[in-house]
Amino acid sequence: MTRTTRRGTTVELAISSALTALGVTRDEVEVEVINQGRKGFLGFGAKEAEVTVTIVNFEEPSVTEKISMLEEAEPVMELQSFEIEGSVESVESPVEKEEVQVEGLSDETAIEETEHYLKMIAIGMGIDDIQISHEIKGKYVTFQMESAKAALLIGKRGQTLNALQQLSQLVTNKSASQFKVVRVDVGDYRERREQSLEQLAERMADKAVRTGKKIQLEPMASYERKVIHNALSRRLDIETYSEGSDPFRYLVIEAVR
């Protein structure tokens, strides 16, 4: 993939999302701002910014460059009506690739910083009983949050939780010794959501076969679309594919004729 279109609450957040998806740094791309977006008043009339980012340097970035990219992404949280925003500042490294030595990076420090970050966000949302634990399995890190106000952390269809997970990924990899895949959960929400998606997948697949029509699901995060893809991967009577651009990308189920 050499080009992607992303949306975000700000132009810089949309650009940051695109850079992460493409796996490149800011100086390797050209950015076209399609829509500046607007914040709205008290959540009304808000419109997301939209950008198209195109790679101009097609060389695969090195591990050092990917670390540099993550260091450039400085997430900023503004809690207003529980909307999460971020900004990215570009920082040029004076050290050439061949001479870079990664020093002072610590998985323990990365975990502590991420837990503190999540706690501060929760407190800002009025959640003062937050408890956070973590589990590490290789490159995978799961942060488990517990609170009597769990619904606030999850948000509508998990939107707030997904945003917290995306920001936590940036915070963790800013200090980690190697790239980490971050998962943020509240209670057993992720497990229950996956079970619900698998059941939905089977129902909609049966409907597609029965009616002979394409079934278009609601927009979902990439990991949720993957759950449905995997759930239906062994069925030979249907096919699944995604259409649209994030955060409005959706999955289509179509019967095989």
Check whether 44 has a pLDDT greater than 70.
Answer: no
Q: What is the pLDDT of residues 151-174, one digit of tens each?
A: 999 988 888 998 899 899 999 998
Number of neighbouring beta carbons within 10 Å of residue 188? 10
Average pLDDT over residues 186-207: 91
Check whether 74 has a pLDDT greater than 70.
Answer: no
Residue 57: per-residue pLDDT: 52
Q: What is the pLDDT of residues 124-133, one digit of tens each?
A: 999 999 999 9
Per-residue pLDDT band at 108 (split at 50, 70, 90)? confident
CA distance 124 to 56: 40
Check whether 88 has a pLDDT greater than 80.
Answer: no
Per-residue pLDDT band at 82 (split at 50, 70, 90)? very low
Domains (ranges, CATH) in the chain?
1-93 (no CATH), 104-187 (3.30.300.20), 190-255 (3.30.1370.50)
Residue 250 dihedral angles phi and psi, to the nearest 5° = -130, 165
Q: How many helices (H) and strands (E) does the chain have?
A: 7, 9
Check whether 85 has a pLDDT greater than 90.
Answer: no
How many Å separate Cα 63 from the centre of its chain?
20
Check whether 92 has a pLDDT greater than 60.
Answer: no
Percent of the chain's residues with pLDDT above 90: 37
Helix or strand or coil: residue 159? helix
Burial class (CB in 10 A: 0-12, 13-18, 19+), 59: exposed
Q: What is the pLDDT of residues 21-38, one digit of tens each?
A: 777 787 778 888 888 877
Residues ≥6 apart with Cβ < 8 Å to 134: 111, 114, 115, 141, 142, 143, 144
> What pTM did the predictor assign?
0.52
Burial 197-211 (b: 16+ CB within 10 A, else e): beeebeebbbebbee
Q: What is the pLDDT of residues 182-196, one digit of tens each?
A: 999 998 898 898 999
